[in-house]
Structures are given as structure tokens and as C-alpha cells.
Amino acid sequence: MADLSNLAGLVSEPSGEIDSSVSSVSNRSLRLAEKEKRKGVADPFGLAVKYLSQVEAGTVVRGNDELERNMVRVETVALSKGLPPEVITMLLDLALSLNAGTANCTRVLKFLLPATVVPQEAIVKGVSWLCVGKMPMNAQVLFVRWVLTVFDLIDCKDDLRSIYGFIFSFVTEENLFPFICHLLYLLTMWEHGELLTKWFNFFGRQPFLTQLLALYKVFRPDLVTLSLPSRARTGFKNHNSTWKVALCAVQRKNKSAVLADQSLSLDVKEKPSSRKRVRCHLSIPPLSSAFDSNSNKKVFRLQELRSFKELLENIHNIELPAQMGSLLGSALALHYLDCVQDESAFLRLNFWLGHSLQEEFLLCPVDGSSDNTSEACRFLSTILFTQQFLQEGFSSTESFLYKFLSVWDGCLLRPQILDLLSDIPLMPSFYMHKLLFEPLKQLYFTSTVFFKCSVIECLNSMLVKWLTWHSVSASEGGLDISLNSNSTITMTLSGFMDSVMELVRFVGLLASEGLRLENCHVLLLNQTLAFYETVCDMFLKYSLPLIIMPPAGVFYPALFATDSISVDRLGYIMFRYRKNLTLAKKQEQQREQTFHISRNTYKEFNRNLQAMVNSMWNSWWCIPGSDIEIDKDLIALSKVAEPWCRFDLIHHPALFSYAIEFHQRCWPERKNVDLGSIKTGKYWNWYMEFLFNQGFDGLNNFIQTNTGHGSTLNSQEDGQPKSQP
């Protein structure tokens, strides 16, 4: 028994150890379970996602509090922080499969906001659910609209393009038609044209399908033989502002690098209670490839370019980026765009620019705060730089300006808007009045003198670009002038002359009325004379057989101006008019040109020439029957001594100080100033030398050409005008 008792004692000790070990394991399990429980409480979003991923077909929806509770948790996080890619994939499958019911399908789609990117496979699987035909039509429309909203955030689009035909099959659905066409527009490549031409005959000239054909006509003009408007309005409207507002809110909270880079494509109008827009950042997105880096396609991504040499070596393998707006932020990308002259790239870039300008400046005007204005200023300056780099404007920018002018106050972003306006290409004269002249006229007459000067300067720059465009076309021997290198619209020389004539006459009207309203302000007068320095040389400098004289409301304020610069510029303008008219008359006599200068133009020039020579040289400014005839009794009331010589080269208000200085140099001992003595003997020639050595080259050329006197001539003093053209 003792042995047994000893054995029992030996056995009892290990039994105690086992019990304690089991107890320890049990306690550890409890701790882990408690930890997991606390973790679950701390991460309700993770538990909600896990629950929703396990929802199967046939799940009771109505009255399911647990489903509703988890749906609310995910919706709250989605609207505040956005959803990660794997959750996007799971929720999209849950919604489109209708496992959680039709009502929850639309609900999920409305809060399906990505925090970073959208997986391509999620979209492909969504298209497969469309093919099943299980969803109601409103859910199908909502899904396609969601895809359009997040299109720029899809990580890769190779597989989407591979199922282009499946997507195209939905164009037969009337409700889906405009949205499917928009999606196809974003996906269309070179190989997709046969489907487009086939269905165009079926649907006719629907604006959505016309946009697709316009795109494909760029790729394969040999297959698209239909006549399409070259400046058709974009048929795709923005129906997704609700999602975009939510995406902007997520972007501001997360400050994610991906969304920050692509913020421009997501900017839309917000409508907070204060009715002041919370403006999104205007920035140029970075270069990113449209294809998967692991794809078998042999492409060289633009973002990998480091030098112009690499661009030349890989120019045939370069693939355009996923978002065309990124081209604006890279000089090498602009070099590529300029070298290859890819019309599809210009078309895509125009579409992107048009959408961005519409969203940011028309639908959501800048509120005028310093931050918003500086962002918009940088964006417009980037567009200006791009247009100057490419030496060509964008049609989308042109369309935007025509719309923006009707709502512009003339102050907001004035330098950038006017610079963009000066880049507008030539247009037919019957469009100019409605699109350009009328809104500018309203702004011009209700703004300050400085805005008036800016408008005249802008229109002068526009005219110079038009004339330069013509001179290049004329040197190439072409009669028809292409309005844009990417446009099929052309204009004959007579049409071009009509447009230039309308522009010059419009500026003449603005300048005449502006000088009257502003009391012949010297800045406005000089800007006007700068414009007519361009106009007077259109025949000689730009080979345009058109000569237009300045109106009386411009000529006489310049002739009687109180500043010497204006008078000198008028002398230069009249000198160049004479040169142009003389050559034009010579060519007419030799029958070397088809177009003829109007005889009224010669008469108008001779009338202005006579007035200027008589007032400044002959001291006889008030000619009976002329434009400046003044009643003698009215002149007598002024009690001005010898009024007929008050605007000659000595007494003219702009030159009077120079005559006084010359008199003091010649007769320093005299106390009484006798300016009449300057006209006697050799002093007159000395005064002419002194005056024209002050830098009045324009006035010198005018006097020398029309009287035979100048700083380099010592001729007779009678000074009769030479023969006039």
C-alpha cells in the first residue's frame, strides 16, 4: 500500500502541472478574444466591410437592422475619407449583383468614392453585370455615370479597351446612349472605327455619336467619308456634379498625392449655404501612362523622358498620357505634340481644356479672393505659354472666351483674358459682331481709361497675328487661308480682308468715342496710334492690299495733341501711309495686282495730308470747307493773337517748349521772347536741325517727304507740299 501511495503521490504532481498549464492557455485565449473584441470595437469600419462582403443573394433587406447599421458605417467613412481600392471592388460587386437589394444598389453607387485609385478589374466586372441584364435601367445609368466620374482615377485601361465591343453594344439602349457614347469617346482607339461607322447609319446624326465619329475621323479619315462639322459643339454634358463635389471634399481631407495631382479633372461647382464656392485647386496633372507598365505593348512613357535626345530616339514609340492636360506641364511633352502633329492628341487636349474651363470659370466663377485668383491666373498663364509655344490657339479656349466675355466684369484676370483674346484666330466677319464686338463694346464704354487702353492693345496684338498669318500664307502661294492647322475651315483673301476691315473699323469707333469720353487721354491716344502704326503698313509689311485711314476722331486729336510723342507718331503714320499708297498706285498702273485701293482712300489721305501740312508747315490750319473749319466770329471771341499759326512747328502746344529752348540758346541776352524771329534766315534751318535732333524721326520723315525739308536737308524756305499720291 505504501508503494501504491508513493506511486499515487508520484502521479499527482504531474496532474497539477497539467491543470495549471491548461488554465494558462485558457486565460491567454480569453485575453486574445478580449483583445480582438476591443480591436473590433475600435475598427467598426473593418467589421462593416467584412459583414457586407459576406452578404449573399436572398439576404433579407427590409427590416435588417444589422445590414443598415453596417451600411451606414461604410457610407460615413466613404463620404469623409474615401474608400480603398479593394473595398471599391467589393462594394461595386455587392451593388451590381443586387445581393443587397435594388435600393441599396443605387445607394452604394452614390457613396462609392475612391480614396486613391479605382481598380480596372472592378470596372470590367461591373460591365459584365451590365451584360447580365439583371439591374434596373436607373441603376445601369447610375453605374455608367459613376464610371465617367472616376475615369481618370482608373489605374489602367487596357482591359477596358479590350471589351470595347461589349461596351459598344449598349448604344442601342436609349437611356444609356449618351453616357455610353461619352465612355466610348474616352476609350476609342485607332482600331475601333468600323463599329462607329456602322452604327452611325443606324442612329443618324445624333450629337453623341457625331463626337465619336469626329474623333475616329482623325484616326482613319479613309474610313469616315461622312461630312462632319469641324467645329461641332461638344455633345457630352456634365451630369455628375454630385459625385465630383463629394470627391473634392474627400481630396481636401485626405490630401492624397494621387488626388492632388488629378484635382483639375474633379473640380466642379459647390453650393454651400453661403452661396460662395469653395474653390478646388487649379493645377496641371502629372504625366501618367494610359497603359499598364507590365503590358506587352512596346511604348515609351512621356514621364520617362529626360532630354530632347531621348524624345527624338523614341518618338515613334511614345504613348500619349492618360490625362491630356498633363501635357501642359511638360516642355518635352509640348515638343512631342508639336513634332508629331497628332490630331487625335489636339482633339483630346481640346476636350480636356474645354471641360476644365467650363467647370472652373463658367459654371463656377472665381470669387475674387487672392488665393483663388492666383490659382486661376497660373492656370491661364500655362495655357497662354502653351499656345505661344505651339504658335497656335486651342478651339476650346476660343469657345470659352466667347462665352466668358458675356459674363466678364472686365477686372477679373484682365491680363490673362486679354492675352488669350489676342490669340483668337481669324473668323468670318459675320461672326465677329455678335461673338466679339458686342460684349467688348459694352465693357469698353463702361470701364476706366486703363481698361480702354488694354482693349486697344489687345486688338492691336490680334491684328498683328492675323496679318502675320496672312503674310505667311501669301508667301506660300496659297489664296485660301486656313483658320487653324487642325481645322478644315478656310477663308478666301476677300473674306480675310472683310474680317480685317471690320476689326479696324471697330477699333476706330472705340478709339474715337473713347478719346471723346476721356478728354483725349494721352495713354489712350498713344495706344490708338500704336494700332494705326500697324494698320498703315498692312500693304507694304504684310502684303495685304488694304489701306484704311484713321477716322477724324483719331486723326485730329493726334494732330492737336499736347504731347510731342503723339504728334511724332502721327507724322510717322502719315509717312508710312504715303509709302503704302504710292506703291499701291504704282502697282495698279502696272496692273500687277488684282485688288485695287479705293479712290475714296486716296481722297481721305490727301485731305488729312493737306490739313497736317497746312497747320504745321504753312501756318494755315483753318481751311474753309475742311473738317476743321471754324467760324471767324467764334475765333475772334477767343482773342488769340494770330490764331492761324498756333499749330505750326514753333507754336504747336506739343513743340512750344522746344521753340522756347531754341530761342534761349540763340538769343540768351534777350528778355522778351520773339518766336517769330526763328523763321528768319538761317535760324529756321537751324531750328529744324535742332527740333529733329530731339528724336522726332517720324515728324522728320513726314516733313522731309512732303515738303523737302528735314534734318539732313538745307533747302529753300517756301516749303510748299510735294505732289500727293
Q: Name which residue leads in pLDDT, 39 or 179.
A: 179
Residues 148-157 have a mean pLDDT of: 83
- Number of alpha carbons in the 13 Å side-chain half-sphere of residue 164: 18
Residue 392 lies in a domain: no
Cα-based angle 62, 66, 68 (whole degrees, multiple of 5): 60
Residue 512 lies in a domain: no
Residues 699-720 have a mean pLDDT of: 63
Residues 260-264 have a mean pLDDT of: 38
Q: How confident is the model at residue 455 (pLDDT cuts 50, 70, 90)?
A: very high
Kindly state the cell numbers that stand for 36. Answer: 480582438
Query: What's the rounded Cα separation, in Å, for the pair 490 and 67?
Result: 64
CA separation, residue 295 to residues 114, 163, 393 (Å): 24, 16, 35
Residue 73 lies in a domain: yes
Q: How confident is the model at residue 717 (pLDDT cuts 50, 70, 90)?
A: very low
Burial 372-386 (b: 16+ CB within 10 A, else e): beebbbebbebbbeb
Residue 67 lies in a domain: yes
Neighbouring-strand partners of residue 301? 319
Tens digits of per-residue pLDDT, 60-71?
Answer: 778 888 888 888
Query: What's the rounded Cα separation, in Å, for the pair 265 and 152?
Result: 8
Tens digits of per-residue pLDDT, 185-208?
Answer: 888 776 665 555 555 555 555 666
Kindly state the cell numbers that stand for 483. Answer: 483658320
Residues 147-163 have a mean pLDDT of: 83
pLDDT at 618: 78
Q: How confident is the model at residue 20 (pLDDT cuts 50, 70, 90)?
A: very low
Query: What's the rounded Cα separation, in Å, for the pair 287 and 320?
Result: 9
Structural domain tally of the chain? Answer: 1
pLDDT at 344: 76
Q: Name which residue leads in pLDDT, 260 or 289.
A: 289
* Helix (H) or strand (E) run with residue 338 in it: helix 331-340
Q: Strand, helix or coil at 222?
A: coil
Residue 495 lies in a domain: no
In the chain, the percentage of residues whose pLDDT exceeds 90 is 19
- End-to-end Cα, the chain, rounded Å: 152
Confidence check: pLDDT of 640 > 80: no
Q: Strand, helix or coil at 168?
A: helix
Of 597, 592, 567, the closest CA to residue 580 belongs to 597
pLDDT at 33: 56
Of 75, 166, 84, 71, the closest CA to residue 118 belongs to 84
pLDDT at 548: 94
pLDDT at 465: 92
Confidence check: pLDDT of 131 > 60: yes
Non-local CB neighbours of 360 within 8 Å, separated by 6+ positions: 267, 282, 366, 376, 379
Kindly state the cell numbers that stand for 357. Answer: 474651363
Tens digits of per-residue pLDDT, 164-190?
Answer: 888 888 877 888 888 888 888 888 776
Q: What are the two backbone dihedrals, phi and then psi, of residue 717, each rounded to the nearest 5 degrees?
A: -100, -5
Query: What's the rounded Cα separation, in Å, for the pair 658 and 135?
Result: 89
Residue 236 lies in a domain: no
Least confident of 155-164, 196-205, 448-457: 196-205
Tens digits of per-residue pLDDT, 514-537?
Answer: 999 999 999 999 999 999 999 999
Confidence check: pLDDT of 655 > 90: no
Residues 100-107 have a mean pLDDT of: 85
Q: How confident is the model at residue 615 (pLDDT cuts 50, 70, 90)?
A: confident
Query: What's the rounded Cα separation, in Å, for the pair 652 and 563?
Result: 10
Residue 185 lies in a domain: yes
Confidence check: pLDDT of 343 > 70: yes
Residues 694-703 have a mean pLDDT of: 89
The CA-based dihedral angle spanning residues 419, 422, 427, 430, taken in that order and rounded to the nearest 10 degrees: 90
Q: How confident is the model at residue 421 (pLDDT cuts 50, 70, 90)?
A: very high
pLDDT at 9: 41
Q: What is the CATH number for 172? A: 1.25.10
Confidence check: pLDDT of 423 > 70: yes
Confidence check: pLDDT of 428 > 70: yes
Which amino acid, one-letter code, is at 635?
I
Query: What's the rounded Cα separation, in Å, for the pair 242 and 315?
Result: 41
Query: What's the rounded Cα separation, in Å, for the pair 495 and 429?
Result: 8
pLDDT at 720: 37
pLDDT at 300: 74
In the chain, the percentage of residues whose pLDDT exceeds 70 is 70
Q: Which of 260-269, 484-493, 625-634 has the highest mean pLDDT?
A: 625-634
CA separation, residue 668 to residues 335, 649, 684 (Å): 66, 21, 17
Non-local CB neighbours of 259 within 8 Å, separated by 6+ positions: 115, 116, 153, 247, 250, 251, 266
Non-local CB neighbours of 134 within 8 Å, separated by 6+ positions: 97, 98
Least confident of 31-40, 493-502, 579-588: 31-40
Confidence check: pLDDT of 12 > 50: no
pLDDT at 18: 42
Neighbouring-strand partners of residue 490? 482
CA separation, residue 562 to residues 155, 557, 654, 687 (Å): 68, 9, 4, 20
Confidence check: pLDDT of 293 > 90: no
Which pTM was predicted? 0.64
Residue 519 lies in a domain: no
Length of the chain measured in residues: 725
Q: Which of 164-168, 359-363, 402-406 has the highest mean pLDDT?
A: 402-406
Tens digits of per-residue pLDDT, 460-504?
Answer: 999 999 999 888 876 555 444 544 554 545 677 888 889 999 999
Tell me which DSSP letter residue 322 carries.
S
- Residue given cell 495730308 in the structure block: 609
The region, left, alpha or beta by phi > 0 then psi within -120 to 50, assigned to residue 520 is left
Query: What's the rounded Cα separation, in Å, for the pair 600 and 598?
Result: 5
Residues 571-575 have a mean pLDDT of: 95
Q: How confident is the model at residue 217 (pLDDT cuts 50, 70, 90)?
A: low
Range of the domain at 185: 41-223
pLDDT at 592: 61
Q: At what angle are helices 564-589 and 552-559 packed, to 10 degrees?
A: 130
Q: How confident is the model at residue 277 (pLDDT cuts 50, 70, 90)?
A: very low
Of 495, 466, 498, 607, the closest CA to residue 549 belongs to 607
Mean pLDDT (the chain) is: 76
